Amino acid sequence: MASPSHAPQGATLALAVGALGVVFGDIGTSPLYTFQECLNHHHLELSQANIFGVVSLLFWSLTLVVTVKYVALLMQADNRGEGGIMALLTLLPARFREAPGGSIGLVSLLVIAGSALLFGDGVITPAISVLSAMEGLGVADEGLKPYVVPATVGILAALFAIQSRGTGALGKFFGPIMVVWFLVIGALGLGSALRYPGIWAALSPAWAFTYFVEHGLPGAAILGSVVLAVTGGEALYADMVHFGRRPIRVAWLSIAYPCLVLSYVGQGAIILADPTTAARPFFGQVPNGIWTYALVALAAAATVIASQGLISAVFSLTHQALRLGYLPRVVVRHTSSEVEGQVYVPLANWILGLSCLALVVVFQESTRLAAAFGLAVSGTMGITSVVFAYTAVFHWGWARWKAGLVLVAMLALDVPFFAATLLKFFDGGYLPFALGAAVFLLMTTYVAGRALLGEHLARTSAPHDVFFASIVPPAVRRLPGLAVVMSSSAAAVPAVLAHLVARVGAVHEHVFLLTVHTESTPWVEADRRLTVEAVAPGFHRVVLSYGYLEEPVVPSAVLHAIKAAGLPYGDDEVTYLLGRESFMATNRGKMSAWREEIFAFLSRNALDPTLYFGLPPAQVMELGSRVDL
């Protein structure tokens, strides 16, 4: 039986409008800077052949990469409604996620790399989107140019400040604005095309082919700018959980895709009709003056929404990484009682926000940021294609030849884009790559550290029968009271308990081995909340189950477990025993000292289990151990 979907249920039209407000913001505002970047960065002569070639490349990129690859194909691959590269990983058998010995498997490494690159791209998208819109002020009035950067900073700061309201609420607010945006850019494009009707011939793939024939291999560098038109595809896939597959497809095919095509066609037409508009072809479609200000205002609103798509995608990826154990536990707030995937991650939000503001202040102009844009997301697109092929074979059971053909077709799109963006590496492409590399290092180090720590804990934990047989006087004294020992696994003796008995030679008269389990439902019924099982004299195995929207408050649940076990204790007679490891970071262990320092830093800054589980601090006893990984 299929697992229930985390994606929302409801009226397709309403969800499609919401999707326009979150999912399509990034790709929907690409017309602000993409055509301009294709012309300016590559110093193209404004000939009909060149303009037709650019329009053709943009049209077929949107069609093949977004419509065919992402909307038609990749969105079929979801884990209970969740999309994105990490959702693909969760569909694969465990042998692809972990190598022998608990180390990171090759596919997991690819996924971590792709996710890390998307984090890097998530920093640039809000900055370039809002900055490119506000630069329209300088088009309307040269005297307003000094206010472009301060206005951009103010808008971005406000955007990140409202993220805690949740993507569902933001989608309802942003959706109607994006409907207006798409209809306006479509209408402007159609109006511009009427000034140069021959532009429609540019939709033929022959013009893209002709462009490469005329310009040769050096001309392929333009793909590094064309890719800006499809950079929202990966975020679209990662954001699928917020609104569902069908509403996103309806929104794309009925509004977003045709309006984007019209916008690019119109920009090509307006340049051919009036070459002076080539510097700012998007804003050149309206008369200078009040109409420019009106378009700037609408563009500013749209680019704020564009930023939302990548921010939401980063939240989704962070949440998935936490559940896979690729990042230390941080605060995650669920913003919907209906959809598990709608989350707000405060730490990720503020890191993204501060990074975006820094980029705007440092780069100052969207053209300078455009050089840094595209490398990260094109790399992620290629990795997603590879992982999809694995999923098709080992999850859906496709024949290898069939998956291979699909993979070759997708890489035929991804590899040229990635190769072209590599040419921009020293012009700014190093920035998202460096950010992605830093995230990759943190995630792989944390995974490797957890695996080595697990090996250590397994070595220091005694088998059940041996451990319980050793808890006899006089070898081990029994202390009065009840100890609740937190255990990550319901099938093992916690290492902290074995360590206590071995070093102190004493244990409480009664012990609860407590495991907290989070289910993929909003709430857990009261009759399924608690299970208590006697496993040895004086020992009970206790499992608490919570829904993903519930805050685990352990003390009240422990009182119910005490009653279920028939024990005579009050809440102030309970001692909570937690293990805390400190890492020595030497070269004697399996992990190098510098990586162990990183792992130690991440572990120290993970959310405190006392706070997370709502334990009374005065009744918590932490038993530390020094470990060299």
User: Beta strands of 342-470 (E only): which ranges?
Assistant: 343-344
The single-letter code of the amino acid at 494 is P
Q: Quick one: pLDDT at residue 241? A: 65
Contact 117, 237 (CB under 8 A): no
Report the alpha-carbon distance of residue 401 to residue 568 in Å, rounded: 66
pLDDT at 236: 75
Contact assessment for residue 435 and residue 87, using Cβ atoms and an 8 Å cutoff: no
Comparing CA positions, the residue from 32, 123, 528, 596 lying closest to residue 358 is 123
How far is the C-alpha of 255 from the C-alpha of 235, rounded, in Å? 18
Mean pLDDT of 414-429: 84
Q: What are phi and psi of 428, to 5 degrees?
A: 140, -15
Q: 281 pLDDT exceeds 70?
A: yes
Q: Confidence band (pLDDT; 50, 70, 90) for 210?
A: very high
pLDDT higher than threshold 90 for residue 408: yes
Say which residues have a Cβ less than 8 Å from residue 40's Cβ, sequence separation at least 6.
278, 279, 367
Q: Which residues contact 404 (CB under 8 A, 6 or more apart)?
A: 389
Residue 174 scores a pLDDT above 60: yes
Banded model confidence at residue 145, pLDDT cuts 50, 70, 90: confident
Provide the sign of the torsion angle of the four alpha carbons 492, 494, 499, 502, taken in this order.
Answer: negative
Cα 56 to Cα 58: distance, rounded to the nearest angstrom? 5
Q: What percent of the chain has pLDDT over 90?
A: 15
* CA 517/CA 546 separation, integer angstroms: 6
| Per-residue model confidence (pLDDT) at position 338 | 52
pLDDT of residue 209: 92
pLDDT class of 576 with cuts at 50, 70, 90: very high
pLDDT digits (tens, 9 = 90+) for 24-63: 777 888 898 889 888 876 678 888 999 999 999 999 999 9
Cα–Cα distance between 112 and 110 in angstroms, integer?
6
The full DSSP string for 82-149 is B-SHHHHHHHS-HHHHB-GGG-B-HHHHHHHHHHHHHHHHHHHHHHHHHHHHHTHHHHH-GGGGGGHH
Strands 343-344 and 333-334: antiparallel
CB contact burial 490-525 (16+ within 10 A = b; e otherwise) = eebbbbbbbbbbeeeeebbebbbbbbbeeeebeebe
Q: In angstroms, rounded to a whole number, what is the distance separating the alpha carbons of residues 210 and 238?
A: 35
**Band of the pLDDT at 140, cuts 50, 70, 90?**
low
Q: Let me know: does 1 contact 333? Beta carbons within 8 Å.
A: no
**Span 139-148, average pLDDT:** 76
Question: For 334-352, what is the mean pLDDT?
Answer: 69
Of 2.40.37.10, 3.40.250.10, 1.20.1740.10, 3.40.50.2020, the CATH number of 13-449 is 1.20.1740.10
Distance of CA 148 to the CA centre of its chain: 29
5 pLDDT band (50/70/90 cuts)?
very low
- Cβ-contact 287, 56 below 8 angstroms: no
Reading the block at residue 517, the tokens are 């389990």
CB-based contact 86:241 (threshold 8 Å): no
- In tens, the pLDDT along 454-494 reads 777 777 666 777 788 888 777 788 888 899 998 876 666 78
Q: Is 412 exposed, middle or buried (0-12, 13-18, 19+ CB in 10 A)?
A: exposed
Structure tokens at 252: 């794309």
Three-state secondary-structure class, residue 325: coil
The two tokens of residue 585 are: 């970071």
Residue 266's identity, in one-letter code, is: G
Nearest to 120 by CA among 382, 435, 426: 435
Which range (77-86, 126-135, 205-214, 354-363) has the least confidence? 77-86
Taking only Cα atoms into account, the Rg of the chain, rounded to an integer number of angstroms, comes to 28
pLDDT at 297 over 80: yes
**Confidence band, pLDDT 50/70/90 cuts, at residue 421:** confident
How far apart, in whole angstroms, are the C-alpha atoms of residue 528 and residue 57?
A: 57
CA distance 476 to 581: 24
Q: Angle CA(264)–CA(294)–CA(292) in degrees, nearest 5?
A: 65
> With pLDDT > 70 as the criterion, what percentage of the chain qualifies?
87
5 CB neighbour count, 10 Å cutoff:
18
Q: Give the pLDDT score at 546.
A: 80
How open is the CA angle 2-8-11, to the nearest 5 degrees? 115
Beta partners for residue 539, in sequence order = 511, 536
Tell me which range, 84-88, 426-430, 439-443, is most confidently predicted by mean pLDDT: 439-443
Per-chain mean pLDDT for the chain: 81
- Give Cα 312 to chain centroid, integer Å: 7
Q: What is the pLDDT of residue 211?
A: 92
CATH 1.20.1740.10 placement within the chain: 13-449
Is the pLDDT at 202 greater than 90? The verdict is yes
Out of 101-110, 182-191, 609-618, the most confident range is 182-191
Cα atoms in the Cβ-side hemisphere of radius 13 Å centred on 24? 37
Tens digit of pLDDT for each residue in 218-259?
788 888 889 889 877 777 777 676 677 788 888 889 999 999
pLDDT band per the 50, 70, 90 thresholds, residue 7: very low
Q: How far apart are CA 18 and CA 242, in angstroms?
A: 9
pLDDT tens by residue, 514-558: 988 877 555 678 788 889 988 888 899 999 988 755 677 888 888
pLDDT of residue 572: 83
pLDDT at 9 over 50: no
In this prediction, residue 159 carries a pLDDT of 81
Average pLDDT over residues 303-318: 74
Between 55 and 174, the higher pLDDT residue: 55
Least confident of 148-157, 240-249, 497-506: 240-249
Give the pLDDT mean for 416-433: 82
- The H-or-E segment that residue 220 falls in is none
